[in-house]
Amino acid sequence: MLHTLTENVVIYGTRGFGREVHQLIKDLAANGTAIACVGFLVDHEFHECCEVHGLPVLGDAGWLANGSDVSVLIAIGATAPRRRIVQRISNEFGSKFAQLKHPRAWVGDGVQVGAGTIVCAGALVTTDISIGSHVQVHVGSTIGHDTVIGDYVTIAPGTNVSGRVKIGEGVFIGAGAVILPDLQIGSWSTIGAGAAVTRDIPDNVTTVGVPARIIAQHACGWHLENN
């Protein structure tokens, strides 16, 4: 009789999305995937509780130094802190990162998904799409054909990304935003909730409105941590 090894996962982040990721793991397990969550990690200064959903808050990233055979998921929506945490864990602990696709997400053929990426329930990812590492595709969002998404991107709930869009590293796309076909979104830019993007967006800007307009420009985005 063959025995499938269970992938044990620790979630970095204890707030709303961390709890949603825990639910995603439970849904995968109920659907027959050999996966289990062993607990949560959090930055030391945000350690507010001892347990979440009945599982222990184990500490900060330093807990990984104990050599436990676990995969890690970073459940923090802000893109710059996510990059910082991934780099620390990779450099100091050499940990591996899980990859999750909810059983009720629809992911078509020819879709490449990087390590640490999370595709939530109700997401529709059509075909011939490249999604980088540590990307969050939240509930009810859609991604059209031939789109390329860089690392550390957040696609918030209800976002519609059309076909042949290129999204740079570290972009945050707010809930309900719409991006029309054949556009490029520059790295570390923010697209406000409900915005309609009708033209290319440069690096390191914030855009809002219908149609989306630039309201702020900032330094290289991954230096601006707003955790």
In angstroms, rounded to a whole number, what is the distance separating the alpha carbons of residues 56 and 64? 14
- Nearest-angstrom CA–CA distance, 16 and 185: 27
* H helix or E strand, kind and range, residue 80: helix 79-93
Q: Residues near 16 by Cβ (< 8 Å), separated by ≥ 6?
A: none
53 is annotated as an active-site residue: no
Rounded distance, CA 124 to CA 107, Å?
6
The position carrying tokens 């219908």 is 210
Considering the candidates 47, 53, 145, 218, report the single residue annotated as catalytic.
145
Q: Are 68 and 7 in contact (CB under 8 A)?
A: no
According to DSSP, residue 44 is labeled G
Beta bridge partners of 92: none
Q: Which residue has the tokens 């009720």?
A: 104
Which sequence positions are flagged as catalytic?
145
